[in-house]
Amino acid sequence: MDISLLYNLAHSFFKVGMFGFGGGFAMVPLMQNVVHQNAWLTPVQFAAAIALGQVTPGPVAISATFIGYKVAGFSGAVVATIAVFIPSLVAMYLLDKFYLKIRTSHITQAIMHGVLPVVIAIILHVAISMGQPLMHSWWQILTVIAVASLAISRRISYGALIAGSVVLGMLMVL
């Protein structure tokens, strides 16, 4: 096994874990950047990695396991998984020790209010940048708009949205 490749995986996913503020979806653009810079996966493979991360019971960060596996096999999966979770584990430990003491501080509240818009913008950027190369026809674009509108209004369950999109895709392609 190429040790330098494993080191690169560990270093890259440690940074993703370290700077992925806002949860799993905030990590996606960082992962996408790392994957693109290193030419580890195609855009379609990366989208599949994120989709698999959504299907598994766990955080989006588990996509790092898939990416690590595709890049360096089982060793890469282990290294990427450990590296992406270490910063969160350390942060949780520190939060447990200190956050309860400072959570009502005006500075802490200001930081949290400042980070939230950035997280939302990053998630929106990822959705658009991941979706653009995967949209091949007008009906897919209209489906994205319709599903997003319905999901935001919460009039229809996510399961129904997925089922409807699958049926529409089958009808449009067949």
- Interval 85-142: pLDDT, tens: 898 888 878 877 887 778 788 888 888 888 888 878 877 887 888 788 778 888 888 9
| Residue % of the chain over a pLDDT of 90 | 21
* Residue 23 confidence class, pLDDT cut points 50, 70, 90: low
Distance, CA of 157 to CA of 151 (rounded, Å): 7
Mean pLDDT across 32-51:
86
What is residue 58's predicted lDDT score, i.e. its pLDDT? 64
> Could you say which DSSP state residue 99 is in?
I
Per-residue pLDDT at 38 = 93
pTM of the entire predicted model = 0.58
Per-residue pLDDT at 73: 94
What pLDDT shows up at residue 6? 92
Q: What is the pLDDT of residue 89?
A: 84
Contact predicate 88/73, CB 8 Å: no
| More confident site: 17 or 167 | 167
Q: What is the pLDDT of residue 57?
A: 57
Q: What pLDDT score was predicted for residue 70?
A: 92
Query: Residue 17's pLDDT is what?
Result: 84
pLDDT at 80 over 70: yes
- Above pLDDT 70, what percent of the chain? 94
| Contact residues for 126 (Cβ-Cβ < 8 A; gap 6+) | 25, 28, 29, 32
Query: Is the CA virtual torsion 157, 162, 55, 31 positive or negative?
Result: negative
